[in-house]
Amino acid sequence: MAARTPHSRTPGWIQNILAVPAFRYRDFRYLWFAVFFNSISRLGELVALSWLVLERTDSPFMVGVALGIRMVPHFFVGLLGGALVDRFDRRHLMRLLNLGMAAMAALIGVLIMFDVVGLWQILALTLVSGVFRSLFQISRSSFSFDIVGPRNVISGQALSALAMRFGGIVGSVSMGFIVKAYGVDAAYIVLAFGYLAATLLLLPIRSAGQSAPVNRQPVWQNLKEYFSELRSNRTLTAILLLTVGTETLGFSHQAVLPSLVRDVLHVGPEWLGIMTAFRSAGGVVGVVILTAMGEVRRKGLVMLLSILVFGISVIVLGYASTLSTAIIVVTVVNMAGFLSDILGGSIMQLVVPNEQRGRAAGSWVLAIGTSPIGQLQMGGLASAISVSLALTLNGVGLVILAVACLLFVPRLRKL
């Protein structure tokens, strides 16, 4: 009998983690680090903005309004942004967009520092920055696919999301402590430097990618073709609608985290930063799960099961009475949310022609752009009744959505 090699004794799921295919590409490694620094600022801003609004208004509803304003450009920019991303070189777009986000963060920080701006002016600048963020997400998601190709799409999307979560951990924790020690103005200045670092890391990328579209049609023609695809491609439409439901019912939980931290758990902004970091840690756990699974064959089924876990954990979060329990549950909430998010976004790019992947990514961003609806209703419910009941109602809605799709939409289970 032949002796077993050490490699043959290694469990398959560990081999999958150690041999992640997307990291073999040089340009993807640069993209990964650029996304990491971009996410330090992008997710760190959640802490700075939400605490600023809560301190100035003492209203969970207004926190929901602020986070909704931050996300609403995703809805309006989604499809048009996808058409633009399919028209131009994604590398150049990502560099310019990071510079735009850096300028907005620096401007907000300086205006707060000199106390020459009100809350609504800050929210207006946040809205402009949100347009840049929306276009960057579409470009980043499409360009990841460009580099690694369709065979490694799950690996590429999962690792890009891992960079976002690692960046989110660093940004969330650091922003919480910076806000407490130096103020929100200092936090926004630091955010600007994160975006500048991301810009510098995108400069050495050489190639447009093996799967980059070569047909540079006018934007209006891109939109016309994609609307035709939406009408005929039922799978694409189903995933789009399911993502909308998940965004409005599940990811809206972040609107009440400041109130949960301050009014239920009775701790300060540094703990909001730490809890937001554990939201990102949940995504890291999700990356490990996806990578350990290797090529996911029943992507739709895994997505629906993730949404079911998502809903149950949001309900449990509503009844977390201690800081340690809340942190654990927030981690599980965002692990499940991450899995549903990555699988949905990947499926949307796999079920369309290659030249329309930017527009498919734009549809995903459009679906994410419906989250202000959820954040407003979550903030409104928390103000009218309680944080616990608001989380419970949204969690129950997610569970019903997942069970209904599992039972009555076999097309999704078989993807």
Rg (CA), the chain: 21
pLDDT of residue 83: 74
pLDDT in tens, the chain (415 residues): 444 444 445 555 445 544 566 777 888 889 999 999 999 998 888 888 888 888 888 887 787 788 778 877 877 776 677 777 777 788 888 999 999 999 999 999 999 888 887 888 888 999 999 889 888 888 888 888 788 777 777 777 778 877 887 888 888 888 888 988 888 889 999 999 999 999 999 999 887 655 555 556 666 666 676 677 777 777 777 888 888 888 888 888 887 888 888 888 888 777 887 887 787 788 778 877 776 666 667 778 888 999 999 999 999 998 888 888 999 999 999 889 888 887 887 777 777 776 676 777 777 777 777 777 887 788 888 888 888 899 999 999 999 999 988 888 777 777 7
Buried b (16+ CB within 10 A) or exposed e, 196-231: bbbbebbeebeebbebbbeeeeeeeebbebbeebbe
- Residue spans of the domains in the chain: they are 26-204+217-413
pLDDT of residue 18: 47
Question: Would you say 204 and 312 are in contact if contact means Cβ atoms under 8 Å apart?
Answer: no
Question: Which phi and psi angles does 126 have, rounded to 5°?
Answer: -65, -35
pLDDT of residue 202: 93
pLDDT of residue 193: 94
Q: Is 3 helix (H, G, I), strand (E, B) or coil?
A: coil
pLDDT of residue 3: 44
Q: Is 11 helix (H, G, I), strand (E, B) or coil?
A: coil
Torsion of CA 389, 394, 398, 403, to 10 degrees: 50
Question: Would you say 46 and 254 are in contact if contact means Cβ atoms under 8 Å apart?
Answer: yes
pLDDT of residue 46: 84
pLDDT of residue 374: 82
Specify the CATH architecture of the domain 26-204+217-413: Up-down Bundle (1.20)
Distance between CA atoms of 415 and 300, rounded to whole angstroms?
Answer: 5
pLDDT of residue 4: 43
Distance between CA atoms of 67 and 180, rounded to whole angstroms?
Answer: 20
Distance between CA atoms of 137 and 390, rounded to whole angstroms?
Answer: 29
pLDDT of residue 350: 75
Task: Look up tokens 């949307």; give the residue.
Answer: 348
Question: Would you say 37 and 197 are in contact if contact means Cβ atoms under 8 Å apart?
Answer: yes
Please, how many CA atoms are within 13 Å of residue 24, restricted to the half-sphere of its CB?
9
Distance between CA atoms of 306 and 311, rounded to whole angstroms?
Answer: 9
| DSSP summary character for residue 414 | T
| DSSP summary character for residue 297 | S
| CA dist list (Å): 249 to 168, 246, 255, 412 | 22, 5, 11, 19
Among 206, 257, 161, CA closest to 27:
206
Q: What is the pTM of this model?
A: 0.67
Task: Look up tokens 């028209």; give the residue.
Answer: 87
Among 276, 280, 283, 247, CA closest to 261:
276
